[in-house]
Amino acid sequence: MLLKLLDGSSIEVENSLNGHDVASKISTSLAKNALAYKLNGKLFDLYHTLPEEGDFEIITSKSKEAFELLNHSTAHLLAQAVVSLFKDAKLGIGPAIEDGFYYDIDFGSYVLKEEDLAKIEAKMKELSKENERIIRKEVSKEEALEMFKDNPYKVELINELEGTISTYTQGDFTDLCMGPHVPSTGFIKHFKLDTIAGAYWRGNSKNKQLTRIYGISCFSKEELEHIEHIKEEAKKRDHRKLGKELGLFMLSEYGPGFPFFLPNGLILRRQIENWWYEIHQKHGYKLITTPVILSKELWLTSGHWDHYKQNMYTTKVDDRDFAIKPMNCPGALVVYNSELHSYKDLPLRLGELGLVHRHEASGALNGLFRVRCFTQDDAHIFCTRDQLQSEIEKLLKLYDEIYSTFGLDYSIVLSTKPESDYIGDDAIWEQSEKILHDACVATNKELTINPGDGAFYGPKLDFKLKDCMGRIWQCGTIQLDMNLPERFDCTYINANGEKERPVMLHRAILGSFERFIGIITEHFGGAFPLWIAPNQINILPVNNNFHLDYANKLKERLENEGFRVTLDASEEKLGYRMRNSILKKTPYTLVIGDKEKENNTVTYRKFGDEKQISLSVDEFIAKIHKEINNKEFLIDPKTI
């Protein structure tokens, strides 16, 4: 059996060997550090017998797959500890997630408390020291049903499976799982159980609510401590906490998942929206709005009625079925078809800040991060096939321009055709995936492949943003769609006077406006750059009897310059008012006393800096205009 290694070399091995055997043949140190192996792009347990020859890679703690592998295994260790401590507990599911793992568990009548986590952690450490091998076993459906007959959650999962089913055993504990896992529990040493939450079984509010235990696992103590520090920092920056403190938004039980924007939040939002319109007009977009509610016939044509109805809000109007739009693309197609088009009109870039509604599970709602109505910064680009490459290249430059404005780095993931529940021919999918891939290569953009995660109508490039704390957020997307123009019979007249089908690009950069505002609230810790800050300048007269008149005139002048200004003339002491201005993260706080009144100057203190600096009013105005025009950061987000 021939295996091709990462360095381009090859190794000939016997058919009966497993991943650890191969690692041992390569080097003793590699075998010692091996966790699993990858063969032809698929991950296997380290001791799984090689199923075929091909491209071979040993997974170690340095591999990109290692974090997920470790955390999935730690979820099993958590489950083992729980069932040994709580005899009535019934296990649901326990996957690895982007920042750790969780396990959903039915504790029966017992209500798990935060203090129970320490007890569970202690048991996990005890089990880890036993260093039990984690052993995979394949069983029939009948055997699996017998093994888990006392657990209705596992039985439900098993009944949905076909063919051979796999289980994993460590010591006296066995769980249903596809795997893979680390070789033994001894690899699981540095972990922390984080929080407890409620979660409906399988995300359905009609099902029983289970207890979800979140945690994180790392390969070193230092890495775990670093992540715990980031989590503590994230708690301080929580957009729900800052949203309340800074008057940005609120949520109400009258509309779960439907956020209310408060005055400060609306100012922040409007500044970003106005800039969005400005930058898109500069890049040749035509701006539109489309109706929030449209008839069933439209959604049948688009495919949403068959593929997305469970997430749509529907109603009847004049005995016809209608749906509130979950996406903006069908409306853009209607706009395109409202008039004839020539090849000279293309590319046609239609931009829309469109309000959409999606019926998310109540257990998944999370501040502005997961809501049921949000504004998508969509654009739909209609072009010829020859224009695709250049259009995607232009888009990539636009993404750079917008993300850099907020100091956000990003990576790109190409999501390919789903295994099922998709529309269109396989050949069209393959061609579309190649075009997206080649566009990234042509612009020197690195990308990774996420097999099977494309939209039901086409492949996509997903943009993963990294904030100042290193957290990853899925925001932007470019989706290449040759299917919907076909379904909507979109055409243009080509240079030969014949009808031809355009190609459609679906594109969002910020994604959900609501979610993006939540992200940058945490990224900037509420200390927004001056150009979007709800209140830019706060004026504090030292003594109202002597300085208020000058302060009012100064406020009027600054407002005439277009700045957002408040004046705190309360009777509180100056120190108290200064502290309050800082707590509200006001970019510039001006102290007005005798010297400022006499010299027509201002003395300012910038947020994050204890220095007080005096300037003439004209110099200060010029400084603020420059900072706004250049969209400068108020302070390095990492230092807030």
Annotated catalytic residues are 329, 358, 376, 378, 380, 460, 506
User: How far is Cα of residue 9 from the mean position of the Cα atoms in its chain?
Assistant: 38
The rounded distance, in Å, linking the Cα atoms of 18 and 167 is 19
Residues contacting residue 186 through CB under 8 Å, at least 6 positions apart: 128, 129, 130, 131, 132
* β-pair partners for 601: 616
* β-pair partners for 604: 590, 613
Residues contacting residue 631 through CB under 8 Å, at least 6 positions apart: 405, 529, 531
SS3 content of the chain, % helix, strand, coil (to 5): 40, 30, 35
Q: Which residue has the tokens 């004046």?
A: 567
**Contact of 312 with 332, CB cutoff 8 Å:** no
Omega before 180 within 30 of 0, i.e. cis: yes
The rounded distance, in Å, linking the Cα atoms of 55 and 62 is 19
Q: In this structure, what token pair is assigned to residue 54?
A: 């091909």
In eight-state DSSP terms, residue 50 is: P
The rounded distance, in Å, linking the Cα atoms of 576 and 584 is 12
Of 605, 603, 600, 608, which Cα lies nearest the Cα of 637? 608
Burial class (CB in 10 A: 0-12, 13-18, 19+), 389: middle
The rounded distance, in Å, linking the Cα atoms of 350 and 288 is 7
Angle 263-282/513-523 helices, nearest 10 degrees? Answer: 110
**Contact of 433 with 388, CB cutoff 8 Å:** no
Q: In this structure, what token pair is assigned to residue 160?
A: 């949905």
Task: Count the alpha carbons within 13 Å of 416 in the hemisphere toward its beta carbon.
Answer: 15
Is residue 354 left, alpha or beta, with left meaning phi > 0 and alpha meaning psi from -120 to 50? beta
The rounded distance, in Å, linking the Cα atoms of 571 and 92 is 59
Q: In this structure, what token pair is assigned to residue 610?
A: 């204890």
Q: In this structure, what token pair is assigned to residue 614?
A: 């005096």
Q: Dihedrals φ, ψ of 370, to 5°?
A: -140, 110
Q: Dihedrals φ, ψ of 533, to 5°?
A: -60, 130
